[in-house]
Amino acid sequence: MKKIAVIGAGTMGSGIAQVFAMAGYETMVYDLQTEAIERAEKSILKHLSKAVEIGKLDESGKARALKKLSFTTVFSDLKADFIIEAILEKLDLKIDLFNRLAAQNDAETIFATNTSSIPITQIAAKVDHPERVVGVHFFNPAHIMKLVEIISGAHTDDEIAQKARDLIKGIGKTPVMAKDAPGFIVNRVARHYYVEGLKVLEEGVADHAQIDRLLENIGFKMGPFRLMDLIGVDTNFSVTSSMYQLFHQDSKFRPSRIQQQKVDAGHHGRKSGQGFYKYDS
């Protein structure tokens, strides 16, 4: 595989694109919105400059990575060996996207989804050549976090999953193979870090800053509310809501009314300037 395409120029998409470009792959970033593309370019440049500043990358490495990147809002440009989507967590949108991509790419093109919780089987079932659809789930921030889940759906060809694993290992990440279960591995385990923190907040036991401080003081790098702000309160809420449905409304996955209110208010965390905390623009 030589050419990579990343669909969605948000926080995850830009991070994923940066990783592939730094590994030497020709990488195209697509988004419907010109503004999103411009933000992604600025974000990648900022992160590469920071890597130079702290000695993790030199100027020549930064220049090589930037040279490997291209940005587009033209859908017909999306022809690649490996295409990964990082769009909204909505099943119908992902199915429609992959079918449109299938119409202009070879049957050998691998379609990867960065979904946090939607079953790979549900996506692939309605896509042409479902055997080439695989879950490749990065964690935020993608340019820093090492772990990547490789998820095989019921249709996913074993060879495709292995190719995805090898690709991810080759860019310096740590791939782990997972089965197609709700939340896969990490999100299923981590969900209660957020959900229980929100329940404590709902019950008035402590405020969000106190809960964060307590958990950080026992060894967690970030408390649940700081982490939700980093990931995106809206993204985190969407994943919790999805898992609640996938587990047939099991109460232990119940979404929080407080988090719902934050989403309704547009307080999505760092990216919006306010979540559970306020941030400088």
Collapsed DSSP state (helix, strand, coil) of residue 174: strand
**Residue 34 domain-assigned (yes or no):** yes
What is residue 85's DSSP assignment? E
pLDDT of residue 245: 92
Whether 115 and 232 share a structural domain: no
Whether 47 and 168 share a structural domain: yes
Domain that includes residue 213, residue range = 187-271
Contacts of range 23-26, beta carbons closer than 8 Å, 24 or more positions apart: 23/170, 23/171, 23/172, 24/64, 24/68, 25/1, 25/68, 25/171, 26/2, 26/68, 26/70
How are beta strands 174-179 and 26-30 bridged, if at all? unpaired
What's the residue count for the chain?
281
pLDDT of residue 140: 87
pTM: 0.90
Whether 191 and 175 share a structural domain: no
| Phi and psi at residue 44, to the nearest 5° | -65, -45
Number of domains making up the chain: 2
Task: Give the distance, in angstroms, between the CA of residue 139 and the centroid of all CA atoms in the same chain.
Answer: 6
* Last residue in a domain, options 162, 179, 196: 179
Whether 51 and 161 share a structural domain: yes
**Residue 276 domain-assigned (yes or no):** no
Per-residue pLDDT of the chain (281 residues; tens, 9 = 90+): 899 999 999 999 999 999 999 999 999 999 999 999 999 999 999 999 999 999 999 999 999 999 999 999 999 999 999 999 999 989 999 999 999 999 999 999 999 999 988 999 999 999 999 999 999 999 988 999 999 999 999 999 999 999 999 999 999 999 999 999 989 999 999 999 999 999 999 999 999 999 999 999 999 999 999 999 998 999 899 999 999 999 999 999 999 999 999 999 999 999 899 999 999 86
**Residue 164 domain-assigned (yes or no):** yes
Query: Could you tell me the CATH number of the domain that includes residue 149?
Result: 3.40.50.720
Whether 17 and 132 share a structural domain: yes
Whether 174 and 199 share a structural domain: no
pLDDT of residue 99: 97
Query: Could you tell me the CATH number of the domain that includes residue 251?
Result: 1.10.1040.50
Whether 117 and 55 share a structural domain: yes
pLDDT of residue 280: 86
In Å, how far are 10, 46, 73, 210 from 38, measured between CA atoms?
Answer: 10, 12, 11, 37
The residues that are catalytic are 116, 137, 149, 187
